[in-house]
Each structure stands twice: as C-alpha cells, then as structure tokens.
C-alpha cells in the first residue's frame, strides 16, 4: 500500500524527563499509529513505523 504524503515534513519535539515524545495527532492518523509503534534504530536515526507494515530489502543485483 503506497501512501502519498507529499513533501517531507519535519517537526521538532521535546523529550520529557521520562524519555517520552509526543507524535502529533495528524501524523498518528496518517500512518495509522494506534496502541503501539515499531522503533528501528539506523545509522541515520530512528525509524518509527506501524508494526503492520513490513520492510522489504530490494535485491541489489545479486
């Protein structure tokens, strides 16, 4: 399922003293975040995604 989200949008959010950050309501609705999200740590940062979506690594010509 492809999502058309338009241009990239960045939002700066503070992390509270318990290590929490709030994902804005509009983003939760767009990506269908409900009771849980999956966090994936990469070299570039942290990916937050809906656990129902699966990442598929494309074959790089091998």
Phi, psi dihedrals of residue 28, rounded to the nearest 5°: -60, -40
Q: Specify the pLDDT at position 3.
A: 58
- Tell me, what's the pLDDT at 51? 86
Q: For residue 42, what pLDDT is reported?
A: 92
According to the model, what pLDDT value does residue 4 have? 62
User: What's the rounded Cα separation, in Å, for the pair 62 and 32?
Assistant: 35
- By the 10 Å C-beta count (0-12 exposed, 13-18 middle, 19+ buried), 48 is classed as middle
Q: How would you write the pLDDT of the chain (62 residues) with one tens digit per residue? A: 455 666 667 788 999 999 999 999 988 998 889 889 999 999 999 989 888 866 677 776 65
Element containing residue 26 per DSSP (H, E): helix 25-30
HSE-CB for 26 with a 13 A CA cutoff: 4
Output the six-digit token pair for 28: 């939760």
Walk me through the domains of the chain, giving residue ranges and CATH numbers: 14-54 (2.10.260)
């Amino acid at each position: 399922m492809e999502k058309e989200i338009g241009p990239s949008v960045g939002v700066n959010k503070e992390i509270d003293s318990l290590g929490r950050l709030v994902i804005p309501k509009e983003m939760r609705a767009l990506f269908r975040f409900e009771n849980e999200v999956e966090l994936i740590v990469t070299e570039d940062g942290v990916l937050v995604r809906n656990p129902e979506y699966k990442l598929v690594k494309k074959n790089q010509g091998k």
